[in-house]
Amino acid sequence: MRPTLQLLCCLIAIVVASAAPAAAQDTGGTSTQMSVGYEYRRGVTDKLRGFGNIIYEKLYDANRLFGAANQLSSSGGVSYDLSKRIRIEGGLGLYYNYFPDITDTFETRLWQAITLDWPNSLGLVRRYVLSHRFRLEERFKNIDSWDFALRLRYRLKFAIAINRYTVEPGAFYVPLRAEWYFPLGDDVEQFFAKKARYTVGLGYVMNKSWTIELRYARQQLREVDTSYKTTDQYIEFRVKSSFRILDLLKGR
């Protein structure tokens, strides 16, 4: 078996093995959620970039056309490369949740992050760069009144090219990621504050400006200070671009 295929099988096995205990320990309900989204990133200078996204997510329910719950979110921010391996980011996110039977919610998040690409050395290892992101969120959530909470997130991200040496135009690739969420202080309104999410998928780089991904994720959520748990699954479709929308509209 080729080294690339061996590594791919091992990483998929790790994701599946990590998600399996969550399903086995499920003491609450389960759900299936589907989402579509557009992600944008554009270089401003050699080190400075702007980015943003808009995502629609629905909780699947066979008895409801638009699902039991719907979320529309949009976020954006800037990043700056301190070096080839270290990047800092800051941004703002807006999240609106629509529930047919209960009160809708609105949330605003400010966040700061640092991303480390390691290992990132010469030779064969350069194909398998791990991206480590540490992100701090300040969350303002409104139901009947405003509440504030802090949350720390750690994400491990990785991508494996299938038909190319690297993830480049014309390449199919497997995106793999795992992310853990940790509440800081009191988090009354966010019942499912402590969670872990594992994702695997298939992506294709159409050209230098466009990429598409279809992903499957399993997420374990544990209610704060109780033994109630759920294990949910997500089907995600993403379209990514790196050109300026203004240039496209002007036909440049």
Cα distances from 67 to residues 64, 76, 98, in angstroms, run: 5, 27, 10
Could you read off the pLDDT of 135-149 as tens digits, one per residue?
A: 999 999 887 778 888
The CATH code of domain 3-249 reads 2.40.160.40
- Which of 70, 30, 14 lies closest to 219, judged by CA? 30
User: What pLDDT sits at residue 244?
Assistant: 62
| The pTM of the whole model exceeds 0.85 | no
Residue keyed to tokens 């504050």: 193
Higher pLDDT, 20 or 169: 169
What ranges do the domains of the chain cover? 3-249
Q: Which residues pair with 35 in a beta bridge?
A: 57, 236
**Higher model confidence: residue 3 or residue 182?**
182
**Cα(14)–Cα(198) distance, rounded to whole angstroms?**
10
CA-to-CA distance for 88 and 249, rounded, in angstroms? 31
Q: Residue 173 has what pLDDT?
A: 94
CA distances from 176 to 13, 68, 128, 191 (A): 11, 29, 11, 27
- pLDDT score at 30: 74
Phi-psi region of 251 (alpha: psi -120 to 50; beta: other; left: phi over 0): left
